[in-house]
Structure 1
Amino acid sequence: MKYLVMIQGTQADYEAMGGKPSAHSPAWSEQDLRAMFAFMGAVSNDLAESGELVDGQGLTEPARARAVSAGPDGRPVISDGPYAETKEVLAGYWVLDCESLERVTEIAARIASCPGPEGAAQYPVLIRPLQGTGGGDA
């Protein structure tokens, strides 16, 4: 069964990773960043070796995002980010092909233990089964 495993963050978190702290996001040092990237790389490498990794990517900061919706006249309305009404956003993901929900939960628990600077926000790792892959079919 395939699952989407998602990590979250905020614009402030991305800015803190770039060295600009805020009240809720302490600045990340080069050592903090290296530790986080090494940890995430090891997770992805292990999942590739086990044959469970289908795809995985980190995403750019919300400030580089764009939202497109239909306006009242049917023409597109385009907004650039970050969005004031948005708190946490998708920061990265893995598409995994795992034998069970228990297995993907083990992986999510590992991802949740990613290192970061003291005081950095902790977000849950979200798991969503993909439709048409053996569970959650519509």
Structure 2
Amino acid sequence: MKYMLMVLGSQADYDAMAGKGSPGNPAWSEADIKAMFDHMNALNDDLAESGEWVDGQGLAEPRGARLVTAGADGSPIVSDGPYGETKEVLAGYWIVDVADFARAAEIAARAYACPVPEGAPNYPVVVHPVGQDVGTEM
């Protein structure tokens, strides 16, 4: 079964990782960044080795995202807002192919255990089935 594991974040988190802290979001040091990347790379390597890896990416900061709609002629209309009020956005994801939800939850818990600086937010990891029928039990 395939699941998407989604890591959440905010623009303030990206700013903090770039060394620009804010209230409730302390600036990350080079050691903090290295610890995060070491943790995530080890998780990625283990998933690839076990054959459970399908895809995974960290996403660029939210301020680089754009909204796209279509004009009457079907041509794209691109804007940089307005965005809905949101505290968190998708910061990265994995697509995994695992035996069941329990295994996906184990991987999500390991991702959640990624080290962050003291006082930094640590968001839950969202586990979402991919391509299953509506109403399918996990």
**Gapped regions of structure 1 (runs ≥ 5):** none
Q: Is the 1:63–1:82 contact (alpha carbons within 8 Å) kept by the matching residues of 2?
A: no
1: CA distance between counterparts of 2:44 and 2:82?
28
Structure 1 equivalent of residue 118 of structure 2:
118
- TM-superposed CA distance for 1:9, in Å, is 0.2
Alignment pair present for 1:137 and 2:128? no
- TM-superposed CA distance for 1:74, in Å, is 7.1
2: CA distance between counterparts of 1:81 and 1:27?
27
Q: Detail structure 1 runs of 4+ shifted over 6 Å in the superposition.
A: 71-75
Computed over aligned residues only, the root mean square deviation of the Cα atoms, in angstroms, reads 1.9
3-state DSSP class of the match of 2:5?
Answer: strand
Structure 1 equivalent of residue 85 of structure 2:
85
TM-score by length of 1: 0.89
Letter in 2 for 1:44: N
2: CA distance between counterparts of 1:90 and 1:101?
21
Alignment pair present for 1:12 and 2:12? yes
Change in 2 beyond 3 A, CA 1:24/1:75: farther
Percent identity reads 60
- TM-superposed CA distance for 1:53, in Å, is 0.3
State how many pairs are aligned: 134
3-state DSSP class of the match of 2:99?
Answer: coil
Letter in 2 for 1:9: G
| Deviation string, structure 1 residues 1-59 (Cα, Å, up to 9, x no partner) | 00000000000000000000011211000000000000000000000000000011000
2: CA distance between counterparts of 1:85 and 1:49?
39
Q: Is the 1:11–1:63 contact (alpha carbons within 8 Å) kept by the matching residues of 2?
A: yes
Q: Is the 1:11–1:82 contact (alpha carbons within 8 Å) kept by the matching residues of 2?
A: no
- TM-superposed CA distance for 1:86, in Å, is 2.5
